[in-house]
Amino acid sequence: MDSDVATLPLPPWPFDLAATLESGQAFHWTHDQGWWRGALADHAVAMRQTDAALEITPAHHAAAAWSYLGLDDEMSEIIATFPPADGPLAVAMQFCPGLRILRQPAWETLATFITSALKQVVHIRQISLNLRQHFGAPLANGIWAYPSPESLANAGESALRQLGLGFRAKSLHRTATLIASGEADLAQWQHLPDADLAKSLITLPGVGTKIAHCTMLFGFGRLGAFPIDVWVERILRELYFKKKRTVTAKRIAEFGIHHFGPCRGYAQQFLFHHARLTKLGTKR
């Protein structure tokens, strides 16, 4: 059935499809018989990586997949903006140099991260798949689109709670309603500079600094966004403030933003991924 396959040669910079899809940016991809299956917006696709190429089916979604996977990011230029002689960051990059920042649909990213508050990755994934299957449009091959704001607004808060969203149901429903009504307009917000985009996102229920920055980074392509969650705060504290126990979270946030430069979102992702997979910072 996978005869309609596009084969695209990969750029020279390392790329790791599996790590990129599993690095806590998106939560709906499933690995099945060598292929990663899921949805690019409203299209079911399957992708796999061979030695030097990326294979995508159906073939006519190849360009969309390329962009989704951040494969047009000039990694050498991005790395060049990082602070020189930063040991911890170099270690994190070496751990998984093939990571990319995904370019996902804004609404899907926003909604997914609203449901992520105080959840483990496995739960976020469960909720994402549940929402798709109950309120999203069925695509091909058992893949479902992420539900539209209208669909979640119509579903109602209690229906969302029944899917295990807990207190996040209220936030997700209220935000979906604001967007469905046009009161909040993500398409319009695309044009805002980073600072204003962050302010706008934070006005939405269930969206604070962290989720706003995740949405900007993974859903609006803003590489200057710098989400600080418990993992990133822990490792920044441990790696860059080892001698001072009493540094405040605010001070750490300011450090991160000033230290890592204009592509700090990528730095964050390297550090986060490394810390999570090596359990760095979890033991005291």
Partner DNA sequence: GTCCAGGTTCGCA
Partner DNA sequence: TGCGAACCTGGA
Which residues contribute to the site for DNA (CB under 7 A)?
23-25, 116-124, 161, 164-168, 170-171, 202, 204-212, 214, 227, 229-232, 248, 250, 268, 272
CB of 205 to DNA, least distance (A): 5
CB of 51 to DNA, least distance (A): 27
Query: Rounded to whole angstroms, what are the CA distances from 233 to 20, 100, 105, 228, 230?
Result: 21, 21, 27, 6, 5
In the chain, the amino acid numbered 265 is G
Q: Under a CB-based contact definition with an 8 Å cutoff, are residues 205 and 149 in contact? A: no
CB of 188 to DNA, least distance (A): 20
Residue closer to DNA (CB basis): 158 or 188: 158
CB of 230 to DNA, least distance (A): 4
Residue closer to DNA (CB basis): 56 or 135: 135
Residue closer to DNA (CB basis): 111 or 232: 232
Residue closer to DNA (CB basis): 14 or 164: 164
CB of 53 to DNA, least distance (A): 26
Evaluate the omega torsion of the peptide bond into residue 58 and state whether it is cis, within 30 degrees of 0: yes
Q: Which residue carries 């917006």 as its tokens?
A: 41
Q: Which two tokens stand for residue 201?
A: 């996102």
Residue closer to DNA (CB basis): 206 or 219: 206
Q: Which two tokens stand for residue 281?
A: 């910072």
CB of 183 to DNA, least distance (A): 15
CB of 176 to DNA, least distance (A): 14
CA distance 15 to 123: 27
Residue 126 sits at the vertex; the CA angle it makes with 121 and 111, to the nearest 5 degrees, is: 80
Residue closer to DNA (CB basis): 49 or 116: 116
Query: Rounded to whole angstroms, what are the CA distances from 213 to 33, 40, 210, 220?
Result: 34, 21, 5, 10
Render 176-194 in DSSP notation, one character per residue: HHHHHTTSS-HHHHTTS-H
CA distance 72 to 82: 19
| Partners of residue 278 on adjacent β-strands | none
Residue closer to DNA (CB basis): 33 or 120: 120
